[in-house]
Amino acid sequence: ELKVEQNPLFLSMQEGKNYTIYCNYSTTSDRLYWYRQDPGKSLESLFVLLSNGAVKQEGRLMASLDTKARLSTLHITAAVHDLSATYFCATGGSYIPTFGRGTSLIVHP
C-alpha cells in the first residue's frame, strides 16, 4: 500500500523567512504533485515533477524530486502572508493519486 508522509504537518513562520516542507512516499512512482488548498476551497495544482532531479519554481515556491530517496521537497523563500494555506503532495500509479495529510502553513507578519 502506497503511503505518503508529509512533515511538518503544521508550520508557523514569520514573513521573510525560509522553510522546507518534506514529502516521503513508500513505493516507486513516476510522478509527484504539489497542491495548495485555501480554507474552504478546492485544490489548486502547483507543480508536477516527472523525473529524478526535477526542479520547478514558481515565485517564492520551489519543488524538487529525488526518486531514489522517494522524497520531494517544497521550499519556501522569503515567505509572505499570501502563502498561508495547506500544501499537499500526492503521488501514485495509474493516474490515481495518493495524498499526504497536508502541511498547514501560517505566515505571520
* Residues engaged in binding other proteins (CB under 8 A): 4, 31, 33, 41-45, 48, 88, 90, 92, 94-102
Closer residue to other proteins in complex, CB, 41/81: 41
Q: Toward other proteins, which CB reaches closer, 10 or 18?
A: 10
Three-state secondary structure along the chain? CCCEEEECCEEEEECCCCEEEEEEECCCCCCEEEEEECCCCCEEEEEEECCCCCEEEECCEEEEEECCCCEEEEEECCCCHHHCEEEEEEECCCCCCEECCCEEEEEEC
Pick 6 or 83: Cβ nearer other proteins: 6
CB of 97 vs other proteins, minimal distance in Å: 5
Report, in Å, the least distance between residue 18 CB and other proteins.
25
